[in-house]
Amino acid sequence: MPKEPKRFDIDIASLSRVSLATARILHPFENGNAESHRELQCFLVQEPPRTCGIIPRRVQLWLPARVLPAVGASVTDEGRGALARVLPNDISRMIYIATLRDNNTGCYFHPDLARRFMLGAADRAMLVCHQEIYERLVSVELEELTDQINFYFGSIRAPRGRSIANWKKPRAYRATIPIHADPISAEILFMKIDIALAILEARLRVRTQ
């Protein structure tokens, strides 16, 4: 008579940063050996902040398929948090994410997320973040967008006038939007950026007179 699969119980009440939805999917957990289960436990239950809340790649490899969407949501949240902590506004975040994208394949490689999660999950998380940031920039007021670009210029090691001129000539910022962005919304954003650059150029000219 075959043995009944061993069930591992996870204390849902003690979960910290992992969502309750993820916990319900994992309870009771029937896959993985005892050592793997103990490793998962240390990432789910209340532990010091440096060890809890993130399911590492080696654990994701044996997670059931029904768990992976919840893991993907966790990766995306991690990506949002990382971008918000390091970069001051959406225009700088969109430029940064564009540098993580291989324009030949359309795939993103975020060094930290790729180290902690599976490459596919990290790629999808950056794609979601890129699209969210892009949509916010399309809808943001012109004044706010102008302030964001001005702040970005102030944070890089280049004269503001040169930065404005370089953005206006090759218009390289057009390559920073998501590959599958809607053409109409893209043109709206490009028009707003062009106007913002003209405003910043006029302000700079007044200051130097």
Question: pLDDT per residue over 57-72, tens digit each?
Answer: 555 444 444 444 444 4
Reported as a single tens digit per residue, the pLDDT across 111-151 is 888 888 878 888 888 899 999 999 999 999 999 999 999 99
Domain boundaries, the chain: 1-53, 138-208
- Interatomic CA distance for residues 36 and 14, integer angstroms: 19
In this predicted model, what pLDDT tens digit does every residue of 32-52 receive, in sequence order? 445 544 544 444 433 333 333
Give the pLDDT band of residue 104 (cuts 50, 70, 90).
very high
Which is nearest to 164 in space by CA: 141, 198, 137?
Answer: 198
Q: How confident is the model at residue 186 (pLDDT cuts 50, 70, 90)?
A: very high
At residue 13 the predicted structure's pLDDT band, cuts being 50, 70 and 90, is very low
pTM greater than 0.85: no
Task: Give the pair of three-digit tokens for residue 7.
Answer: 């069930």
Question: Which one is predicted more confidently, 73 or 200?
Answer: 200
Angle between helices 183-208 and 160-168 (to 10 degrees): 150
